[in-house]
A and B are shown apart, each in its own frame.
Chain A
C-alpha cells in the first residue's frame, strides 16, 4: 500500500494530479486540490500505520499505561476544529475559483462590458454550439482567448455532463433549463475531454473539444463558419428550387399528357 502511495507522490504522477489551468479560477482549484491531497494522504498513512501497529504480532504481554487514552471531549474538539478549518479553507478557495474577471477585449457579437454568450446544447451524442452570429458548430467549440465567455448550457434530450477540466470543470446540462457557465480562456490551446454523464449507446464517443484561438482569428473562424453554413444553405435552397422547377415541368407534362389522353378518348368515342 505504501508503495502505491509513494508512486502517487512521485513527480511523474504529481504532474497529472491537476489539469493545466486554462482559465482564472482553475489555478485556485488546483491549489485546493493539492492542499487536500497532501492532508488526506497524510491522514490515510497515519491511520494505516496505526492499524499496522495495532495488529503487530504480540511477542510479549501488552501492559497498557494508565490514562494514555485521550479524553473523548478533546478528541471531538480537535477533530471539529480540523473540520471547520478545512471547511473555511475550502470555502475560500472554492469562492475564489468561481470568480471570473470581466474581459477588457471585445469581439464581434459581444455587448460591451458583458461576457460573450455562446449557447451549448447537449444531444445524444454530440454537443452543438450556437455563436452570436447565428453560426453553429458540433463537437468542437471555438472561443477567443482573453475574452470572458458565458456558456448557456442546456440539453435537448437527456441529462448530459459538460466536462472541460482545464476551463470549467463539470456542470450538468439539464433538459428544459439553461445554466450559465463562465470562463475566460487564457491563451490559444486545444482542450480535449469527454462528457461525464451516461447518456446511452453513443456515450463512449461523446467528446468535447474546445479550441481557444486569438480574438481576431475567432472572428474570422466563426464568420467562415457562418459563410460555409450559408453556402450549404444556399446550395440546399438551389437544389430544392431546381427540383421543384423540375417537378413543375413534370406536372405540366403530366397534365398535358392527361389532357391528350382524354382528348383521344373523347375523339375515339365520338368516332364510334
Chain B
C-alpha cells in the first residue's frame, strides 16, 4: 500500500462520499465474517460477544442475588451457587470487560490513525478464534463441571487435592485461551500503532483513544504473560504433581496471589484507562472543546503504571512484610492524583459548555458518577488498618463493582453508542437509550449501595447463604431488588443496540463533526477503510479537512461567480 503520497498542505484529496464500497463479496456473509482478518470484523465480533456475555453475567448475578435475597435461602444449592459465582466473575472480567475494551480499541484505533489495515492481520484473527474458543469452553463446561473455586482460585484450594473435579481445569483452559487470544490481538494493535500511522500522524497528534490503545496495549503485554505463566504453574501443580504453590513442599501459596493480583490489578487499570479515554473523546466531541492533552495522557500513563504497582493492595490481609503493605497504600493513594486530574477536567469541561444531551454523553456522565463512588471506596480498601476489616466483605465487593460497572458497563455503552453510527451505519435510538440508561443507573445504585452497609456490618463474600439476626437482611433484600432493575436496564440497553439497526435512519460518515480520522471513513467503513490516506497536519485532522472543504467550495463558488458575466 502506498504511504509516500503527499498532498498540498491544506487541500485534502477527496471527500469520503466518493469512496468505493470495496470488492464484491463472493461468499455468504457468515463465511466472509468468520474467515475475515479485517480488524473491523474482528473488533465487531469481540464487541458482540462481549455484549452477549454481559447478558449472561447479568443473568448469573441476578440468580446469585436471588439466592442472597433472604437469609438461609434454599433457592440454590451451595455448589450451584459457587459455580454461578465463579462463572459470573470469570465472565465479567474475561468475557465482558477485556473483549469489549480490546475489541473497541482494535476497531477504532486503526481508523483513528488513518491506517488501511492492521500490521499483523492473521495474528489478530488467531487471537479472535482463541478468544471465542475460550468462551465456548467456559460455557460448554455447564454440560459437565463448571469452575467452582471462585474468580481467583487460590491454591492450595484450587489444587487437585481439594478440587479434584475438572472445574479448575476448565477455568485454566478458558481464561488461558481468552488471555492468549487477546494478547495476540493486542500485539497486532501495537504493531499497527507503531508502524502504520498515516503521514503526519505523530504521537503528539494522536487522539486520546489512540493513546489509550498504546497504554492498554503495553500494559496488557506486560501483565498477560505473567498470568499465563501463573496458570501454567497451576496446571503443572494440578496435573503433574508440581509444587509451585504447595505450602508444605517448598512452594508458596502466596506466590499465586502475587501473580494473579498483578494481572487482575493491571486489568482493572487497563479498563479504567481505556474507558476514561473513550469518555474523554466523547466529551471533546460533544462539547466542542479540547481537554488539556498533556495532563490527560500523562494521567492515563500514571494510572496504568502506579495502579498496577499497587497490586499488594489486594493482599493487605496476607502475611507479607509490612513494607509491601505501606508501599501498596502509598501507590493506591498516589492514584488520587491522576484520577482527580481526569475527573476534574472531564466534569469542568462539560460544565462550561453548551451541548445537546445525547446517549453517549449521558452514559459517559453516568460512568463517571458510579466510578467516583467505587474509586473513593477503594481508598478505604487500601488503608491498612481499615482494609483488614473490610477485605473479603461486601464493602470490597461493592467498591469493585461500582468502579467496574461504571467503567465497563456504562463506559462501554457510552463508547459503543458513540461509535455506533460508524460501526453499523445507522444512528442510535435516543429515546430508548435515555430510558434504559435511567433504569440501569437507578438499578446499579439500589443494587450496590446497600452492600456497603452489609459489608461494614461484616457480611463476607462468596458464602452461598447467611443467617438472620446479624443485620444483613434488609440490605441484601434491597440489593436483590436493585439487581433485578439493573438486569432489566442492561437487557433494554443491549436490545436498543439490536433494534436501532433495523429502525433508525442511516448515519452520515461524520454525524458529530468530530475531530479524529475515523469519521473520514464511510459508515460503516469499507474493508480498506480509506480510499485515500489523509495528510495529518494537526491534532484535529477532521476539522482541518472540513475547513479545507469549505474553503474549496467558497473558492469554486467565487471562481464560478467571477466567470459569470454580469447581466
Q: Report A's interface with B, CB cutoff 8 A.
A: 1, 4, 8, 13, 16-19, 25, 28-29, 32-33, 36-37, 40, 43-44, 47-48, 50-51, 53-55, 57-58, 61-62, 64, 68-69, 72, 75-76, 79-80, 82-84, 86-87, 90-91, 93-94, 97-98, 124, 153, 155, 157-159, 161, 163, 165, 168-172, 174-177, 179, 193-201, 203-204
Contacts and interface: CB of A to CB of B under 8 A. Distances in A.
13 contacts: A29-B385, A47-B368, A58-B355, A61-B354, A86-B333, A94-B385, A124-B162, A169-B385, A174-B253, A174-B319, A175-B253, A201-B79, A204-B463
A159 B156 contact: yes
Report the contact-size class of chain B (Cβ under 8 Å from the partner).
35 or more
Nearest to A93: B385
A196 B340 contact: no
B333 A87 contact: yes
B154 A197 contact: yes
Contacts of A36: 379-380, 383, 386
Given A54-B347, A177-B319, 12 more contacts: A29-B385, A43-B372, A51-B368, A51-B372, A53-B351, A57-B357, A79-B340, A87-B333, A158-B154, A175-B247, A194-B463, A204-B464
B373 interface: yes
Nearest to A57: B357
A39 B18 CA distance: 57
Interface string B334-358: 1011001101110110111111010
A87 B449 CA distance: 26
A197 B392 contact: yes
A44 B376 contact: yes
Contacts of A87: 329-330, 333
Interface stretch (B180-188, B418-426, B451-459, B558-566): B451-459
A4 B445 contact: yes
- Which of A54, A124, A169 has its CB near the most chain B CB atoms (within 10 A)? A54
Contact of A203 (B385, B388, B453, B463): B463
B254 interface: yes
B163 to A, nearest CB: 8
Nearest to A202: B78
B330 A37 contact: no
Contacts of B318: 172, 174
Interface in B116-171: 149-150, 154, 156-157, 161-162
Report whether over half of chain B's contact residues are helix, strand or loop; otherwise say mixed. helix
A83 B336 contact: yes
A29 B385 CA distance: 5
A49 B170 CA distance: 45
A199 B385 contact: no
B353 A62 contact: yes
B437 to A, nearest CB: 12
B333 A97 contact: no
B157 A199 contact: yes
A174 B392 contact: no
Contacts of A61: 354
Contacts of B247: 155, 174-177
B458 A19 contact: yes
A161 B161 CA distance: 19
Contacts of A18: 456
B337 A68 contact: no
* Top 3 closest pairs, chain A to chain B, by CB: A176-B247, A169-B388, A175-B247
Contact of B336 (A53, A68, A82, A204): A82
Contacts of A28: 385
Contact of B376 (A17, A40, A57, A91): A40
A208 B352 CA distance: 55
A76 B342 CA distance: 10
Given A90-B383, A170-B317, A79 B341 contact: yes
A75 B341 contact: yes
Nearest to A96: B385
Given A171-B319, A174-B253, A200-B162, A79 B453 contact: no
A27 to B, nearest CB: 11
A198 B149 contact: yes
Interface in B352-376: 352-355, 357, 361-362, 365, 368-369, 372-373, 376
A172 to B, nearest CB: 5
Contacts of B317: 161, 169-172, 196
B13 to A, nearest CB: 36
B384 A170 contact: no
Nearest to B315: A172
- Which of A83, A155, A179 has its CB near the most chain B CB atoms (within 10 A)? A83
Nearest to A153: B319
Nearest to B334: A83
A200 B157 contact: yes
A91 B385 CA distance: 9
A79 B337 contact: yes
A8 B456 CA distance: 11
Given A40-B376, A196-B391, A197-B392, A175 B248 contact: yes
